[in-house]
Amino acid sequence: MSSGLLEIGAVARELGVAASTLRTWERRYRLVEPRRGAQGQRLYDSEQILVLRQVLLQLRRGNRARAAHDLALAPQPTGTSREQFEPSPEAPQRARRAIDALLAGGADARFGFHLRLVASELVKNAVLYGSGRDPIRMEARLFATHAELRVQNSGGRLSMKSLRSRRRDGGRGLDIVDALAEAWTIDTGPRGTKITVRLPLEPRPPSPPAAGDG
């Protein structure tokens, strides 16, 4: 087809699913809605076929059809690093080297520095406040517009208040994470703590001056 559009039969063959499945997904989830040809036939473009491939990938990973459609829309990482570190004073440095390897010199220098810094601070917190026994797990994922960093350690419940109150021991690490992150969450309980940070590729705009500042 000269326009690069494919009819439903061709798409179904390419993806290895029944044409009726594609029609059902279209009706139920409205994620991929192909344009129509002169005779009313469905015509899929390459972007839509890519989205359908993502749906199938999510299905193969064990997701149900609705979840697979939701996940197919989520951006896919361009790079991922999963590491484990012994909880020692050298762990933050190892975390920084893992980020170096993930970026492989291809990232903006400022963004690279921020990602290294946040990884280092999170792993440092895990060393200082974790159980001190089990390995610290770090996952870093790069996307087109941001990076997502997750650091997990075993140990008791940790509260934001207690973290911030430990400034003498480097509690300013959270101030740093606060300032650089677009968003972050802490998930903590009696068995451990997981902190997830989303770091934007573009710098955050400076905060407006506080009310009353001259």
Partner 1 sequence: MEFKLATADLGNAISRISVTGEVDLATAPELKDALAGTIRSGARGVLVDLSHATFIDSTTLGVLMGAVKRLRPLGGELAIACNDPNIRKIFEITLLDRVFNIYDSPETGITELRQLLTGPDVPGGATAQP
Q: Which residues bind partner 1 (CB under 8 A)?
A: 89-93, 96, 109-110, 113-114, 116-117, 120-121, 124, 127-128, 167-173, 175-176, 179-180
Q: Which is nearer to partner 1, 4 or 212 (CB)?
A: 212
Q: How far is the CB of 128 from partner 1 (least distance, A)?
A: 8
Q: Of 42 and 96, which CB lies nearer to partner 1 in the complex structure?
A: 96
**At closest approach, how far in Å is the CB of 174 from partner 1?**
8
CA distance 15 to 45: 14
Nearer to partner 1 (CB atom), residue 19 or residue 201: 201
| Residue written as token pair 């517009």 | 145
Cα 156 to Cα 65, 78, 79, 88, 190, distances in angstroms? 37, 34, 31, 18, 5
Least Å distance between CB 28 and partner 1?
47
Q: How far is the CB of 160 from partner 1 (least distance, A)?
A: 15
How many Å apart are CA 125 and CA 110, to the nearest integer?
23
List b or e across 2-41, with b for residues whose CB sees 16 or more CB atoms inside 10 angstroms. eeebbebeebbeebebeeeebeebbeebebbebeeeeeee
Which is closer to partner 1, CB of 77 or CB of 171?
Answer: 171
Residue 58 near residue 31, CB atoms below 8 Å? no
| Smallest separation (angstroms) from partner 1 to the CB of 179 | 4
By beta-carbon proximity to partner 1, the closer residue of 16 and 206 is 206
